[in-house]
Amino acid sequence: MFRYVLRRLLLAVPVLLGVSICVFLMASLVPGDPATVLAGDTASAEQVERIRRDLGLDQPIPVQYLRFLERLAHGSLGESTRTHREVLLEIADRFPYTLALALGAVVVSTILGIAMGIFAAVRRGRAADYLTMGIAIVGLSVPTFWIALLGIIVFSLNLHWLPVTGARSPQSYILPIFALSLHSTAVKARITRSSMLDVLGQDYLRTARAKGLRERVVLLRHALKNALIPISTIIGLQFGSLLGGAFIIETIFGWPGIGRLAVQAIFNRDFPLIQGTALVGAVTYMLANLAVDIVYAWLDPRIRYS
Amino acid sequence: MRGSIRVSAIHSAAAVAVGRRPGTIVEFLRRARRSPPFVIGAALFLGVLLMAALAPVIGVQDPIAINIRERLEPPTMRHLFGTDDFGRDVFSRVVWGSQLAVRLGTLSVLVAVSGGIVLGLVAGYYGGWVDQLISRIFDLIFAFPYLLFAIAIVAILGPSLDNLVVALGVFGWAGFGRVIRGSVLSARQREYVEAARAVGARASRIMARHVLPNVAAPVIILSATRFGGALLAGSGLSFIGLGVPIPQPEWGAIMATGRDYMGTAWWVTVFPGALIAVAVLGVNLLGDGLRDLLDPRLRDA
């Protein structure tokens, strides 16, 4: 098990380097010269030149990349061009809010999705199955930001039950988490159903029933345990779409997370901050998948040897 | 003559996809007619296509012209979906928006499929370091969460419909590329491919004649899913101002104009969003139906 974890960590290194190259290149691919943008419209040619030298922009690209890596190794991503604060600190302030949304959505979608999937699988081919799966595919197709806006119109603006924006009270988590978890719930419901149907056809379940076990025990102890294995990988993959979805949901709810931070940074053309959020987003996603893969290996000893 | 070539091409593509000899497209349609997801999905999707094609006839009021005297009017017979903050007819804007939606979905899937086919075929057929290199590129694309990847590209290139197509299409390379690479790897082991190589067929001919038809079914199914994904991502990005710029009647962009008036003028946000939901539901159902019909092994998956 330890060796498996070690190998997975080592395999993540080249991808991480690739991600850092992509993120680094982002800034140089932007049309226009960052030094001119930074200096502002009123700057003289000498000022622009000084900024270019200070930032090392007069160096060749590979040298610039190595310097970027070196700074990164010291825990620095540069200063936000707007607030002049260290980008990593700026992100650290906001990150817990995004993580809370994403983890909340993971919990809600996993519980709801698995429940819907089991419910549909047990009633396969009956009205309840079609209804549940119908709800799932509608949930998969509806834009999350539309559901978020409907929620605001109904629950915040008309019923006044929930706040419209911000993250000040526990109630303010309800709408964002619900909207964010919509697609994941639908995906998990569909996968749980098919995975349960696979397992339900297996011989050992017939044996379990033949032993006289109650249906509840058969389903939850014997079937679900094995059906959960494919679902666990989806939880990791879904974490990526939750992080991405948070960019839109956070903008709607005025949520103080990294999604809204990144969107604002794009409008301000604050490139160190854009790079920082892209890097943190990719690394978080990678760690989430790594964690899920390790849990997966622990659940299913067969895959460790492959 | 030209028409008959096209018909026969569709014919054989469908026949390959269904896994039967040519001439059984009728058989395919007969089976498809009994699949509720396929029928409902096809109907919704055709509805959106029709709306896009007939936009000049249905959306008779100018979707961009400003008419301040009629701003934020609720739905009436004259303005079925009401008007927005500049007095523009929301119904006309939504109708014209379907053209942008169809363009965004079609073009981004085309970019994704063509890039994915080239990369996947090359990786799967040549193997070795070429495969290693291309597979690592796929890993890298997948290292970024989907929307984050698109946002990063739009941040670099600037918000526009074309840049959205590039962003969503390039991300799709990895998805299609992996599917195609996998199919090529398994097709390469088959006797008929080996036989073709033995008689001296060139690599390009083997790929086009013997390998590509095998990947038709998964590519068609994935295309439907990616079409819907592109609509959701594209309208979401337009909504937060990182997609199609606002005066254009893109569905997400229309919703963005209604954001400040949600309490008083719900119609500006609610109707375009409902259209996105209907269009995406259509392609998703179509994808589910096609999967059942084309690939029985995946049934219930």
Task: Judge: B300–A14 Cβ closer than 8 Å, yes or no.
Answer: no
Q: Which residues contact B200 (CB under 8 A, 6 or more apart)?
A: none
CA separation for the pair A119, A132 (Å, rounded): 8
Instruction: Classify burial at B121, counting beta carbons within 10 Å of its beta carbon; exposed 0-12, middle 13-18, buried 19 or more.
Output: buried
How far does B292 lie from chain A, in Å, by closest CA? 13
Give pLDDT tens digits along chain A (306 positions).
778 888 888 888 888 888 888 888 887 777 666 677 667 667 777 888 887 777 777 778 888 888 888 888 888 888 887 888 888 899 999 999 999 999 999 999 999 999 999 999 988 889 999 999 999 999 999 999 999 999 998 988 888 888 887 778 888 888 999 999 999 999 999 999 988 888 887 888 788 888 877 877 777 777 887 778 778 878 888 888 888 888 899 999 989 999 999 888 888 888 888 889 989 988 888 888 888 888 877 777 666 544
CA separation for the pair A73, A90 (Å, rounded): 18
Task: Judge: B140–A19 Cβ closer than 8 Å, yes or no.
Answer: yes
Q: What is the pLDDT of residue A181?
A: 93
Question: Residue A228 has which token pair?
Answer: 């959960």
Task: Judge: A266–B269 Cβ closer than 8 Å, yes or no.
Answer: no
Q: Which residues contact B172 (CB under 8 A, 6 or more apart)?
A: B108, B109, B111, B112, B113, B115, B116, B226
Considering only alpha carbons, which residue of chain A is nearest residue B286?
A137
B170 in contact with chain A, both atoms CB, cutoff 8 A: no
Q: What is the pLDDT of residue B149?
A: 83
Residue A150 host element (H or E) = helix A144-151
Q: What is the pLDDT of residue A302?
A: 65
In terms of Cα–Cα distance, which of B280, B288, B283, B295 is closest to B216?
B295
Interface list for B 18-57 with A (CB within 8 A): 37
Closest to A143 (Cβ–Cβ): which among B232, B259, B301?
A: B232
Phi, psi of B31 (to 5 degrees): -70, -40
Residue A154: list chain B partners with CB under 8 A: none
B241 — alpha (psi -120 to 50), left (phi > 0) or beta? left
Give pLDDT tens digits along chain B (301 positions).
344 444 444 444 444 454 445 456 777 788 888 888 899 999 999 999 999 988 888 877 777 777 777 777 788 777 788 887 777 888 888 889 899 999 999 999 999 999 999 999 889 888 889 998 998 888 888 888 888 888 888 888 888 899 999 999 998 999 899 988 888 888 777 788 888 888 888 877 887 777 777 788 888 888 998 999 999 999 999 998 888 887 788 899 889 888 888 878 888 899 999 999 999 999 999 999 988 888 655 544 3
Interface list for B 56-115 with A (CB within 8 A): none
Q: What is the pLDDT of residue B300?
A: 42
CA separation for the pair A251, A257 (Å, rounded): 9
Q: Which residues contact A207 (CB under 8 A, 6 or more apart)?
A: none
Mutation target to probe the A interface, by most A beta carbons within 10 A, among B140, B144, B250 is B144
Mutation target to probe the A interface, by most A beta carbons within 10 A, among B138, B139, B148 is B148
Q: Within a 10 A sphere around the Cβ of A224, how many other Cβ atoms? A: 19
Do the Cβ atoms of A87 and A77 come closer than 8 Å? yes
Q: What is the pLDDT of residue A301?
A: 66
Q: What is the pLDDT of residue A32?
A: 65
CA separation for the pair A58, A66 (Å, rounded): 14
Residue B7 host element (H or E) = helix B2-18
Question: Residue A284 has which token pair?
Answer: 């978080």
Task: Judge: B285–A137 Cβ closer than 8 Å, yes or no.
Answer: yes
Q: What is the pLDDT of residue B193?
A: 80
Do the Cβ atoms of B131 and B118 come closer than 8 Å? no
Residue A15: list chain B partners with CB under 8 A: 136, 139-140, 143
Q: What is the pLDDT of residue B104?
A: 94
CA separation for the pair A270, A34 (Å, rounded): 10
Instruction: Classify burial at B41, counting beta carbons within 10 Å of its beta carbon; exposed 0-12, middle 13-18, buried 19 or more.
Output: buried
Considering only alpha carbons, which residue of chain B is nearest residue A135?
B281
Phi, psi of A86 (to 5 degrees): -60, 130
Considering only alpha carbons, which residue of chain B is nearest residue A27?
B156
Residue A286: list chain B partners with CB under 8 A: 143
| Buried residues in A50-89 as b, exposed as e (16+ CB within 10 A) | ebbeebebeeeeeebbeebeeebeeebbbbbbeeeebbbe
CA separation for the pair B207, B210 (Å, rounded): 6
Residue at token pair 């010269």: A33
Residue B151: list chain A partners with CB under 8 A: 244, 247, 262-263, 266
How far does A115 lie from chain B, in Å, by closest CA? 17
Residue at token pair 């033949």: A210
Mutation target to probe the A interface, by most A beta carbons within 10 A, among B38, B151, B157 is B151
pLDDT digits 0-9 by tens, B18-53:
444 545 677 778 888 888 889 999 999 999 999 998
CA separation for the pair A165, A250 (Å, rounded): 9
In terms of Cα–Cα distance, which of B21, B22, B17, B24 is closest to B215?
B17
CA separation for the pair A189, A183 (Å, rounded): 10
Q: What is the largest CA-CA distance in chain B?
A: 76
Helix axes A224-252, A144-151, angle to 10 degrees: 70
Closest to A140 (Cβ–Cβ): which among B139, B158, B284?
A: B284
Task: Judge: A244–B145 Cβ closer than 8 Å, yes or no.
Answer: yes
The residues that bridge with A86 in the sheet, in sequence order, are A79
Residue B301: list chain A partners with CB under 8 A: 194
Q: What is the pLDDT of residue B70?
A: 76
Which ipTM did the prediction report? 0.85
Q: Within 13 Å, how many C-alpha atoms sit on residue A63's CB side?
A: 6
For every residue of A224-267, DSSP letters joined together read HHHHHHHHHHHHHHHHHHHHHHHHHHHHHTT--SHHHHHHHHHH
Q: Which three-class secondary structure string do you get for B121-172?
A: HHHHHHCHHHHHHHHHHHHHHHHCCHHHHHHHHHHHHCCCHHHHHHHHHHHH
Residue at token pair 């392609």: B283
pTM above 0.80, yes or no: yes
Q: Which residues contact A10 (CB under 8 A, 6 or more apart)?
A: none
Residue B281: list chain A partners with CB under 8 A: 137-138, 141-142
The residue type found at A196 is: M
Do the Cβ atoms of B144 and B233 come closer than 8 Å? no
CA separation for the pair B157, B178 (Å, rounded): 26
Q: What is the pLDDT of residue B158?
A: 84
Question: Residue B18 has which token pair?
Answer: 């269904």
Considering only alpha carbons, which residue of chain A is nearest residue B136?
A15
